[in-house]
Amino acid sequence: MNSWPPVPTEPPARHPDAPAPDTELPEHYAYCFGCGSEVEHGLHLRATAGDDLTVRSRFLVTETHQGAPGLAHGGLLACAFDEALGTAVGHLLRRPAVTGRLETDFVRPVPVGTVLHIDAHIDGVAGRKVYVSAEGRMNSVVGDIAVRARALFVLVELKHFIDHGRREDLRKVAEDPGLLGRSVDLNP
Ligand SMILES: CCCCCCCCCCCCCCCC(=O)SCCNC(=O)CCNC(=O)[C@H](O)C(C)(C)COP(=O)(O)OP(=O)(O)OC[C@H]1O[C@@H](n2cnc3c(N)ncnc32)[C@H](O)[C@@H]1OP(=O)(O)O
């Protein structure tokens, strides 16, 4: 394994307004494939703030997440980690960020019906670059590790989403700000 983070970093600081440990975190967008309640076959990932620089997430692998008979699709597992890692960055640093790079190690097959418990941790910050890692355990927070992931998130301005998002979806959000989670403030 290469050293991690791959560049010298500063220790990250949990934002003073970050949700307290054990706070259940809201979905950040109703149509997000990772957490949104409006996506019928989405992952419906749920997350809880942990101590210090951690967030604990969980999701149930259903039959709509299969890649082989009865087994989770690796790409969907990667999606769950993207969501879990991004949730840690967004809520603990309280800054908008996007995934620049995501790497996953699939250690064990994950059967349909498994609840994957994902512990994400912010490892370091270098300018706009935020390094995060996570482990996913099967059926319990102390279960066997099925997937490990590491990612680089890049801090961006809110303008990133406004400049690049499809107009009709941005319009929907402007008309119904409730589509964004309570934590996402478009006028900070
Ligand atoms: C507000 C309160 C919130 C409240 C709570 C909300 C909760 C919220 C939960 C969200 C949970 C969602 C979780 C899913 C998150 C997605 O899935 S985001 C969607 C997928 N990602 C994207 O679409 C990103 C597409 N890429 C881009 O837009 C641009 O390439 C980027 C990433 C913004 C970077 O572009 P840029 O701004 O021009 O910056 P750039 O100088 O190129 O890169 C910055 C630094 O990062 C490095 N870098 C960039 N990409 C890479 C790479 N792939 N590999 C290595 N280094 C890289 C650069 O080398 C550079 O390094 P330095 O020169 O500073 O040393």
Cα torsion 6, 7, 8, 9: sign: negative
Q: For ligand 1, atom 27, which residue shows the shortest CA distance?
A: 100
Is 113 domain-assigned?
Answer: yes
Provide the percentage of residues in the chain whose pLDDT is more than 90.
Answer: 95
130 touches ligand 1 (CB under 6 Å): no
Is 48 domain-assigned?
Answer: yes
Q: Has residue 187 got a pLDDT over 80? A: no
150 touches ligand 1 (CB under 6 Å): no
Q: CA end-to-end span of the chain, whole Å?
A: 40
Average pLDDT score over residue span 43-55: 97
* Per-residue confidence (pLDDT) for residue 185, from 0 to 100: 61
Is 146 domain-assigned?
Answer: yes
Q: 50 phi and psi, to 5 degrees?
A: -105, -170
User: 16: CA distance to ligand 1 center in Å?
Assistant: 23
5 touches ligand 1 (CB under 6 Å): no
The HSE-up count of residue 89 (CA atoms within 13 Å, CB side) is 29
Q: Has residue 51 got a pLDDT over 60? A: yes
Is 138 domain-assigned?
Answer: yes
Is 3 domain-assigned?
Answer: no
| Residue whose structure tokens are 């997937």 | 147
Task: Tell me the two tokens of residue 25.
Answer: 């975190």
Q: Is the ipTM of this complex over 0.85?
A: yes
- Provide the CATH number for the domain around residue 31: 3.10.129.10
Is 7 domain-assigned?
Answer: no
Task: Tell me the two tokens of residue 115.
Answer: 């609840």
Task: Tell me the two tokens of residue 3.
Answer: 């050293």
User: 130: CA distance to ligand 1 center in Å?
Assistant: 9
Q: For ligand 1, atom 35, which residue shows the shortest CA distance?
A: 154
Its domain, for residue 100, covers 24-179
Is 28 domain-assigned?
Answer: yes
Is 71 domain-assigned?
Answer: yes
Number of domains in the chain: 1
181 pLDDT band (50/70/90 cuts)? confident
pLDDT digit string (tens) for 90-125?
A: 999 999 999 999 999 999 999 999 999 999 999 999
- The whole-chain average pLDDT of the chain stands at 96
Distance of CA 159 to the CA centre of its chain: 20
pLDDT digit string (tens) for 2-28?
A: 899 999 999 999 999 999 999 999 999
User: 131: CA distance to ligand 1 center in Å?
Assistant: 11
56 touches ligand 1 (CB under 6 Å): no
